[in-house]
Amino acid sequence: MLNVLWDGGSNFPGIAQFGKAFIELATNGDLWRHSIASLFRVTLGFYLAILLAVPLGLFLGRRQGWRKWMDPVVQFLRPISPLAWTPFAMAWFGIGDAPALFIIFLAAFFPILISTTEAAASIHPMYFLVASNLQLTSWESLCKIIVPATAPNILLALRVSLGVAWLVVVAAEMIAVKSGLGYLIIDSRNALRLDYVMVAMTTIGMIGLALDHTIARLGRLEAVRWRLERK
Amino acid sequence: MSENKILIDNVTVEYRNGGSPRKPWSLFGKGRNCGSAGDDVRTVLHDINIEIKTGEFVSVLGHSGCGKSTLLKVIAGFVRPTRGAVLIDGKEVTKPQPDHVFVFQEGSLFPWLTIRENISLALRSVKDPREKEEKAAYYLELVGLENSHSQYPYMLSGGMRQRAEIARAIAAQPDILLMDEPFSALDYLTRLNLREEMLYLHVMLPKTTILFVTHDIDEALQLCNRLIIMSDPPSQVKCCRTIKAPHPRNLTDIELSDLRSHIYYHLGVHTAV
């Protein structure tokens, strides 16, 4: 049994071969190059999604009239897999980083938007009565009430959507680009190098773990602790 | 200049609760579900007339759901009356004002701000940061929270949180304090302590008019200059009594215990006396 694991079989690489491939890809720089390319796309697409989804979510959350109209639109678009957009992404953005970014953006956008909207809509109305009583300006209400009140939920949404973004980056890279861990998988498969495929998969897992760990640390910030400690 | 601080003039508040909120898809159904004649209109307050003088401490008593809180919210400007008006210093209340501060039953401190930051919110008119800090410290000390300034509300006990809410309210230097059952979420002993502190604040701030909604008859008897008892909805002022006894009051005094029986009678409680 151990022997089989070590040597591998016809349809999976053994540990020995995997280790060799790992060292090979790590030393010739391919692994780093592809990892950095993937991380770059995820980061950019993710930031783009935050930049648009958080303000839009806060706006919709606080404007019931708009929310009523936008909610069906959002719920209609949301179940469409980001990957289903690939033909359009390529038609609109051509070849290169842009279509991949677009797909990552789509994947991260909806979870952030929905959580932010929900969080902003469910802020206790009493806080706004206090705000109107103390005559806070709209800007102060935004900074002192809306943003801090929704921060814990937004952070949770970021954690979920970063995972999703990392999930689709691989798929996005299987089209239209010549770098990234997704490309490494497709390229190695075409070359029948299952050991390389496995190295890429392992790397994806490890980076995903590291990303989640990083973002989970944000949950310990003082600005959001009140939510967890509340009675 | 009239001596009346607050004039509640024929205030009627009606809530509509028959119509369900309009559905997003009923684009053209404007009249169908909202505000049509068949609606169930609930009159909460019916032709309320009250005059309150500057510096008075008025308690409002009544059964749950009789509209005490609504009355307070109308005075605060959170709710517009269906008919009638509330005049403060001769001017009609149309929106919340920073000098008429509302104190909630509990949980109106912002949980994401420290106690000091919460109080600083009420000190927005103070521009100089050092002066602001000093003032915040002053109000914290006033309610005995000087050691908790950098803690978050969740770290404090219920009584301390309520103290902080009161500190925030008086930091805004209001001429009217509208207190909606401010101590009812607290345990009995804490409530007694805060009752005493409330009295201290009342003496310290003689110009501040206080409206105090409560269920606790002893609390009302011990604190206020005037008692207003409201009837069940559609609520009207059922009875209004002035208490002349000086502070500190002994609740076993004959005048106060008579008054207590009188209140129980008006509230329809016959066995408790």
Per-residue b or e along A159-174, where b marks 16 or more CB atoms closer than 10 Å to that residue's CB: bebbbbbbbbbbbbbb
Q: Within a domain: residue B8? A: no
Q: Within a domain: residue B122? A: yes
Q: Within a domain: residue B10? A: no
pLDDT score for B66: 83
In angstroms, what separates the C-alpha of B110 from chain A's closest C-alpha? 7
Indicate yes or no: CB of A151 within 8 angstroms of CB of B153.
no
Query: Which residue among A133, A145, A151 places its CB closest to the CB of B96?
Result: A133
Cβ partners under 8 Å of residue B25, min gap 6:
none
Q: Within a domain: residue B186? A: no
Q: Within a domain: residue B162? A: yes
Query: Which residue among A126, A149, A226 places its CB closest to the CB of B108?
Result: A126
Domain range for B130: 107-173
d(CA A110, CA A106): 7
The residues of chain A scoring below 70 in pLDDT are: 1-2, 228-231
B75: closest chain A residue by CA? A133
Q: How confident is the model at residue B272 (pLDDT cuts 50, 70, 90)?
A: low
Phi, psi of B176 (to 5 degrees): -135, 130
- Per the structure, the count of domains in chain B is 1
Q: Residue A93 half-sphere exposure, CB side, CA atoms within 13 Å?
A: 18
Indicate yes or no: CB of A148 within 8 angstroms of CB of B108.
no
> Using a CB-CB distance cutoff of 8 angstroms, which residues of chain A are in contact with residue B110?
127, 130, 144-145, 148
- Note the pLDDT tens digit of each residue in B176-228: 999 998 888 888 888 888 888 888 888 888 889 999 998 888 888 888 889 99
Q: How confident is the model at residue B31 (pLDDT cuts 50, 70, 90)?
A: very low
Inter-residue contact A89 to A102 (CB < 8 Å): yes
- Note the pLDDT tens digit of each residue in A107-166: 999 999 999 999 999 999 999 999 998 888 899 899 999 999 999 899 999 999 999 999
Lay out the sheet containing B41-53: strands in order across. B41-53, B4-16, B83-88, B91-92
- Note the pLDDT tens digit of each residue in B89-133: 888 888 888 889 999 888 889 999 999 999 998 888 888 889 888
Q: Within a domain: residue B204? A: no
Residue A151 contacts B, CB cutoff 8 Å = yes
Confidence (pTM):
0.81
pLDDT score for A73: 92
> Using a CB-CB distance cutoff of 8 angstroms, which residues of chain B are in contact with residue A228?
none
Q: Within a domain: residue B81? A: no
What is the CA B118 to chain-centroid distance, rounded? 19
d(CA A202, CA A195): 11
Q: How confident is the model at residue B21 (pLDDT cuts 50, 70, 90)?
A: very low
Residue B108 contacts A, CB cutoff 8 Å = yes
Q: Within a domain: residue B130? A: yes
